[in-house]
């Protein structure tokens, strides 16, 4: 089965006054229909750029974006418009993603009118009410005439999600969609996204810096860990959190605070050699993680860029040492 949407060795370079920055470097990711997946990484690791590449808002410098097997950047006209509608982005900042001069009704009805899902205001109002109910803004009558500034952050984010739903998308990319709202409503927003994904078979890609959020959201799906523009580990949430293979994933998981102090104390921690993230302008040679990596081997990691390779069982890792050790382990148990 081919993936619904796929990044095929996609790179994106930005030209800045300080020199070119490769925000995303040969990233390959495939998403199936109805899947809930998380991209995790520190700030500056290229996860937002990946999200924008995925939605087709940014053109890749190289590589292909495939939707239903077709190269999106080679399609034109109606096909391209269809792709744009099929993939929607929910932005990080709900204070910036809604137009302050437009009411909730105006915001939600514009795409309905434009794409002929409603012909009269009455039809549009019915659809808008339905959408608002779907994102738990009830009763809808209280919200249709409101301007964004009259809503709370969580309510705005729900309106933004409702707006994405107006065009019946197949994929929703939620870029840090819960990081700007109060912790108390994060879970309900995550649940809402998951429910929408299940109900309508929408693929949901959540981009976050918070592994705790990722673990909750993608508990039945996969997590991709990004570091300085590359995917370093891609695995089922269960196995990634329980047994991270890449030293960077291990460090991230070690940093999740646990509610139980006993667990926190006994938890395995990874001692990074440096807390400093290298500048994107001067990326380290070889594996970009090697200056911080506890497993780094001179002569290997600082020279050769690790590929994202499958290791037993059921995951992909971009680390020379981890791949070697895991493969050896597997061979030992088989023998």
Partner 1 sequence: MTSAILAAPTLGQRLSGPWFATVEFLRLLSRRPVGLVGFFGIVFFLLLAFVAPIFVPFQNDPSLVDIYLTPSLAHPLGTDFQGKDVLNQIVYGGRDILTVAIIAALLSTLIAITFGSIAAVIGGRLDTAVVAVTDITLTIPKLILLIAIAAILRPTSFVFLAVILALLQWSSLLRQVRAQVLSLKERDYVEAARSLDLGLFHIVFREILPTMRSYIVIHFILSMTEAMYAQVGIILLGLVPISGSNWGIMLYFAQGQGALFYRDSLWYILSPILAISLVQLSLASFASALEDIFNPRLRGS
- Interface residues with partner 1 (CB under 8 A) are 55, 57, 81, 84-85, 87-89, 91, 93, 95-103, 110-111, 114-115, 145, 147-149, 160, 163-164, 166-167
Instruction: State in angstroms the smallest separation of the CB of 84 from partner 1.
Output: 5
Q: Which is nearer to partner 1, 64 or 84 (CB)?
A: 84
Q: Which is nearer to partner 1, 124 or 323 (CB)?
A: 124
What the block records as the tokens of 127 is 């659809």
Q: Which is nearer to partner 1, 173 or 211 (CB)?
A: 173
Instruction: State in angstroms the smallest separation of the CB of 100 from partner 1.
Output: 5
Given the structure tokens 């959540």, which residue do they identify? 206
Secondary structure class of 109 (helix, strand, coil) = helix
Distances (CA, A) of 163 to 13, 88, 97: 30, 9, 10
Q: Which is nearer to partner 1, 2 or 101 (CB)?
A: 101
For residue 129, what is the enclosing H or E element? helix 121-134
171 DSSP β-pair partners: 87, 203
Instruction: Determine the length of the chain.
Output: 335
Instruction: State in angstroms the smallest separation of the CB of 252 from partner 1.
Output: 27
8 A C-beta contact, residue 171 and residue 5: yes
* Structure-derived torsion over alpha carbons of residues 50, 56, 57, 62, reported in degrees to the nearest 10: 60
Instruction: State in angstroms the smallest separation of the CB of 101 from partner 1.
Output: 4
What the block records as the tokens of 77 is 């006209």
Instruction: State in angstroms the smallest separation of the CB of 157 from partner 1.
Output: 12
CA dist 223 and 176 (Å) reads 15
Q: Which is nearer to partner 1, 91 or 320 (CB)?
A: 91
């Amino acid at each position: 089965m081919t993936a619904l949407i796929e990044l095929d060795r996609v790179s994106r370079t930005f030209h800045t006054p300080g020199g070119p920055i490769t925000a995303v470097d040969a990233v390959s990711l495939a998403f199936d229909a109805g899947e809930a997946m998380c991209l995790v990484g520190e700030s500056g690791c290229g996860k937002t750029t990946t999200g924008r590449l995925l939605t087709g808002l940014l053109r890749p410098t190289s590589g292909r974006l495939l939707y239903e097997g077709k190269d999106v950047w080679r399609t034109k006209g109606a096909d391209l418009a269809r792709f744009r509608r099929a993939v929607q982005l929910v932005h990080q900042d709900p204070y910036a993603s809604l137009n302050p001069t437009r009411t909730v009704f105006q915001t939600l009805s514009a795409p309905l009118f434009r794409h002929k899902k409603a012909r009269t205001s009455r039809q549009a109002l019915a659809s808008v009410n339905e959408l608002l109910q779907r994102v738990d803004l009830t009763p809808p009558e209280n919200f249709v005439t409101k301007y964004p500034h009259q809503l709370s952050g969580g309510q705005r984010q729900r309106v933004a999600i409702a707006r994405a739903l107006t065009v019946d998308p197949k994929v929703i990319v939620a870029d840090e969609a819960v990081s700007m709202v109060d912790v108390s409503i994060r879970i309900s927003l995550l649940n809402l996204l998951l429910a929408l994904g299940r109900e309508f078979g929408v693929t949901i890609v959540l981009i976050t810096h918070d592994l705790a959020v990722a673990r909750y959201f993608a508990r039945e799906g996969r997590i991709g860990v990004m570091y300085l523009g590359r995917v370093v580990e891609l695995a089922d949430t269960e196995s990634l959190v329980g047994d991270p293979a890449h030293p960077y994933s291990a460090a991230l998981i070690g940093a999740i605070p646990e509610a139980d102090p006993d667990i926190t104390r006994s938890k395995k921690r990874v001692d990074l050699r440096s807390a400093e993230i290298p500048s994107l302008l001067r990326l380290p040679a070889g594996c970009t993680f090697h200056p911080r990596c506890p497993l780094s081997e001179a002569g290997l990691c600082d020279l050769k860029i690790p590929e994202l390779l499958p290791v037993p069982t059921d995951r992909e890792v971009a680390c020379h040492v981890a791949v070697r050790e895991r493969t050896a382990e597997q061979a030992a148990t088989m023998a």
